[in-house]
Amino acid sequence: MGMGRYVKIKGSMGPKYICVHELSKETVYATVEKPYRDTFDPDERDTPPEWCPFLQKGEREGTWVCIIHATRPRFCRDFVCAVMRIYTREGAEAGRVSEKFSLISADERLNALWKERIDPLIAGNDPEWKAQAAEIIASEGYRLEVYD
C-alpha cells in the first residue's frame, strides 16, 4: 500500500504495461491478469495515489490483489514483510527489521550499530524506538523506510 511511490507505469500496449520499480531500478513488462483487464485503468483508479497502481479490489468482497501477480517485479517477488528496511547510500538493501523487531542483515557495521544503540531502545520498551532508531541509522549514512 506504500509502493505507489516506487512502482511507476511508463507505457502500455493492451494488457501489457511497461513499468519501472524505482527502488530496484528494474524495468518490467507486466501483464494485467484476465479478470481485471476490462476494468483496470491506471488513470481512473479509485485507490490512494500512494498505493501501487496494480493493487486493486479482488473479486471477493474485502480483498485486495496484485493484478500483475505472475509478472510482478523481482523486488515484489523477493519482498518479505518487515517493519523497517535499511539501504546503503548506493541503494542496496543493507538489512530489514522483522515484525519481532530483530535486524536481519549481513552488513557488519549495521549489525554492530544495531546491537550497541538500537537493541537497548527496544529492550527498554520505548514506543518511540522506531523514530529514534531511524535517526541513529540515518546519521550513519544509511537510508531507511519505516512502515506502520
By the criterion CB under 6 A, which residues form the site for ligand SF4?
3, 7, 52, 54-55, 66, 68, 72-73, 76
Which residues is 9 bridged to in the sheet?
19
In the complex, minimum distance from the CB of residue 72 to ligand SF4, in angstroms, rounded to a whole number: 4
Closer CB to ligand SF4, residue 7 or residue 133?
A: 7
- Which letter does DSSP use for residue 101 in this model? S
Closer CB to ligand SF4, residue 28 or residue 110?
A: 28
Closer CB to ligand SF4, residue 66 or residue 118?
A: 66
Closer CB to ligand SF4, residue 8 or residue 115?
A: 8
Is there a contact between 49 and 2 (Cβ–Cβ < 8 Å)?
A: no
Whole-angstrom distance, CA of residue 41 vs CA of residue 54: 10
In the complex, minimum distance from the CB of residue 67 to ligand SF4, in angstroms, rounded to a whole number: 7
Show the cell assigned to 25: 531500478
E-strand ranges in 22-139 read 26-31, 55-57, 64-66, 84-87, 93-97, 103-104
- Output phi, psi for 19, to 5 deg: -135, 155
In the complex, minimum distance from the CB of residue 63 to ligand SF4, in angstroms, rounded to a whole number: 13
In the complex, minimum distance from the CB of residue 118 to ligand SF4, in angstroms, rounded to a whole number: 27
User: Within 13 Å, how many C-alpha atoms sit on residue 82's CB side?
Assistant: 18
From first CA to last CA, the distance across the chain in angstroms is 11
In the complex, minimum distance from the CB of residue 128 to ligand SF4, in angstroms, rounded to a whole number: 29
Closer CB to ligand SF4, residue 26 or residue 140?
A: 26
